[in-house]
Chain A
Amino acid sequence: MLVVGVGSLLRTDDAVGRAVVERVEALHLDDVEVASVHQLTPELAPDLAGRRLVVVVDAAVDVDTVTVSPIEIDTSGALMTHHLGPAGLLSFAAKLGWRPERAVAVRIPVRELEVGTELSRQGTALVEQALTEVLALVR
């Protein structure tokens, strides 16, 4: 299994996904690898190949609670190499034969995205909630 945390470390709560991944890594779980990235890129696609589960953890401004949902392949054709979302990454991987068995997005609601390297109090609390969701998926 692979847990991918996405976000900018210089934009306060945009980094919540990476904070979750840091917590997962510290647990040294069997059969769980992690990746902490600024953004999703095509080069991640080979790492998805054959995984039983891929979890992408990211900040989101269009949800109100921590949301867990399957990642569906993007069939719109509007893929961008510099702005890949989870669906785009999965589509990219699938086209090249690197599709995982299952892919899930954990989206964390954030409001504070100013320049800064510290999570807000709310962001820190949401990391705990999201971690619980991620652990439920991988355990």
Chain B
Amino acid sequence: MHDIHHTIDPVTRIEGHAKITLRLDDAGDVADARFHVTEFRGFEEFCKGRPVAEMPGLTARTCGICPVSHLIAASKAGDAILGVIPPPAAMRQRRLLNLGQLLQSHSLSFFHLSAPDLLLGMDHDPATRNIFGLMQAEPEIAKRGIRMRQFGQEVIRSVSGRRVHGHQIVPGGVTEPFTAEQRDVIKGDVDEILSAAEATLELLTSVSDRFDRELASFGDFPSLYLSHVQPDGTWEHIDGNLTMIDHDGSVVLDQFDPADYREHLGEAGKSDSYLKAPYYRPRVTGDDPRPGMYRVGPLARINIAERFGTPIADQGLADFRQRYGRIASSAFLYHHARVLEVIACAERIAALMDDPVLLDPRVRAQAGINANRGVGASEAPRGTLLHDYEVDDDGLITAMNLIIATGQNDLAMNATILSIAKEFVDGPELTDGMLNRIEAGVRAYDPCLSCSTHAIGQMPMKVQLIAPDGEMLQEVRRD
């Protein structure tokens, strides 16, 4: 087979569009698939020389959808550099913040981006296969999604000061105590949101039988999984250590300190994408990182955790495992995992509202620079997020490494696209149904680029079909 090199279009580089290439073998079957991310952000470079205290505010600008995740990871890295443990009330505020973030982001992913696929159908007209088409067909479901996302954003605003790019999360804790009035607003709404989340799980379960072929072909392959989890096996999203398991559930790495990630995780650069591809280092011996592929995010978290630790989510998890097994391997099941996490988030937010420590006015530990390196980690909606900072004695950043969830899923997304293409591409012509499924397969991972470049329900995307001799047989572009 010929070696094919692709040039990334500079226009798509600027606009952040994704590009996918499918390479055919001599028999005309799909031999390989590549997912190219053409954005370059440069945060790891231009943050150098800035004070560590600025990192929550600066790195939160990485994304308009999940700035909260960067706020938290950056603040935790700052905690490590200051050498402090934030006061208990601050820890609870951050926990509440991340729950709000998971809830709102998952609601966006499910209702705005994926529900059109799931409720209107994969072969539905792309012109109306979006949130607006859903509004026409299922207005009450669309309203539910908007209301759930609105609630999550209100939680975020109450803790961080703004719905987007909050400013109250800092190294050492948070800047403002949480008030009884804020608590009462959230407490007044959370039961409605929990009910809505339960109804969403029922809805998803009711339509799942329609997607057996997608379930089998959307990235249903063995892989490693990585996430935070509590030592007793309870689901965790912000504190503690990381665990990696294999496809059969066996533990590969048990409760390792995120600061030690370099011992376990490598990062492969790619000539055809700005997205780094992290991999599990011991399984990679050559240049190909794919043997070290692992997945992060909701599916990884529920595969690794034994339980959510809240009753309704745990019942949902038990039902899920009865249907799909203890370790669920199809990427299509990210949707279920997301909805289960929304339920868990609502339950945990409700529990936090009854925790008097949340209102304690001591919320920030003050200190100077006590370490020259700090790593902060949390579970972003899309998976484990790591911020690794090195600073000089004045606290100015000298080196920075960000490991983003979407990057960690890069190898799996490529493999998923390949599995979908193998199932649905038949012959040298790309059909709309095939494009829809590629979109949906990528979207199952809810990558950040899908959110940041997303227009209605359709991801700006270019798919190229490449013959064995390198000839481009067909290019389909969606702007």
Chain A contacts to B: CB under 8 angstroms: 37-38, 42-43, 45-46, 77, 79-83, 92, 95-97
Determine the chain B residues whose CB is within 8 A of the CB of A38 once the complex forms. Answer: 164-165
User: How many positions in chain B have a CB within 8 Å of any CB in the partner chain?
Assistant: 19
Chain B residue at smallest Cβ distance from A43: B150
A114 to B456 CA separation, bound complex (whole angstroms):
29
Min C-beta distance of B139 to chain A, whole Å: 6
A107 to B456 CA separation, bound complex (whole angstroms):
26
A80 to B150 CA separation, bound complex (whole angstroms):
18
A37-B163, A81-B454 as given contacts; A46 in contact with B131, CB under 8 Å? no
Q: Give B336-390 interface residues, CB cut-off 8 Å to A.
A: none
Q: Are A79 and B456 in contact (CB under 8 A)?
A: yes
A72 to B163 CA separation, bound complex (whole angstroms):
27
Min C-beta distance of B453 to chain A, whole Å: 9
Chain B residue at smallest Cβ distance from A44: B150
Taken residue by residue from 325 to 336, chain B's Cβ proximity to chain A (1 for < 8 Å, 0 otherwise) reads as 000000000000
Chain B contacts to A: CB under 8 angstroms: 112, 131-132, 135-136, 139, 142-143, 146-147, 149-150, 153, 163-165, 454-456
Min C-beta distance of B358 to chain A, whole Å: 24
Chain B residue at smallest Cβ distance from A83: B455
Determine the chain B residues whose CB is within 8 A of the CB of A45 once the complex forms. Answer: 146
A22 to B147 CA separation, bound complex (whole angstroms):
26
Q: Are B456 and A46 in contact (CB under 8 A)?
A: no
Determine the chain A residues whose CB is within 8 A of the CB of B112 once the complex forms. Answer: 42, 81
Chain B residue at smallest Cβ distance from A36: B162
A106 to B150 CA separation, bound complex (whole angstroms):
25
A38-B164, A82-B455, A95-B139 as given contacts; A77 in contact with B132, CB under 8 Å? yes
A38 to B167 CA separation, bound complex (whole angstroms):
14
Q: Are A42 and B146 in contact (CB under 8 A)?
A: yes
A79 to B455 CA separation, bound complex (whole angstroms):
9
Min C-beta distance of A38 to chain B, whole Å: 6
Chain B residue at smallest Cβ distance from A45: B146
| List of 6 A-B pairs having minimum Cβ-Cβ separation, nearest first | A43-B150, A95-B135, A96-B143, A42-B146, A79-B132, A43-B149
Q: Are A96 and B455 in contact (CB under 8 A)?
A: no
Q: Are B146 and A96 in contact (CB under 8 A)?
A: yes
Min C-beta distance of B148 to chain A, whole Å: 10
A37-B163, A38-B164 as given contacts; A46 in contact with B146, CB under 8 Å? yes
Select one of B131, B136, B164 contacting A42, CB under 8 A: B131
Q: Are A97 and B139 in contact (CB under 8 A)?
A: yes
Chain A residue at smallest Cβ distance from B107: A43
A39 to B472 CA separation, bound complex (whole angstroms):
40
Q: Are A46 and B150 in contact (CB under 8 A)?
A: yes
* Given A77-B132, A82-B454, A95-B136, 15 additional A-B pairs, CB 8 A: A38-B164, A38-B165, A42-B112, A42-B146, A42-B149, A43-B163, A79-B456, A81-B131, A81-B454, A81-B455, A81-B456, A95-B132, A96-B135, A96-B146, A97-B143
- 13 interchain pairs, CB-CB under 8 A: A37-B163, A43-B146, A45-B146, A46-B147, A80-B455, A80-B456, A81-B454, A82-B454, A82-B455, A95-B132, A95-B136, A96-B146, A97-B143
A92 to B150 CA separation, bound complex (whole angstroms):
15
Determine the chain B residues whose CB is within 8 A of the CB of A82 once the complex forms. Answer: 454-455
Chain B residue at smallest Cβ distance from A9: B165
Determine the chain A residues whose CB is within 8 A of the CB of B135 once the complex forms. Answer: 92, 95-96
Select one of A79, A83, A96 contacting B139, CB under 8 A: A96
Q: Are A43 and B455 in contact (CB under 8 A)?
A: no
Chain A residue at smallest Cβ distance from B113: A81
A92 to B142 CA separation, bound complex (whole angstroms):
10
Determine the chain A residues whose CB is within 8 A of the CB of B153 once the complex forms. Answer: 43
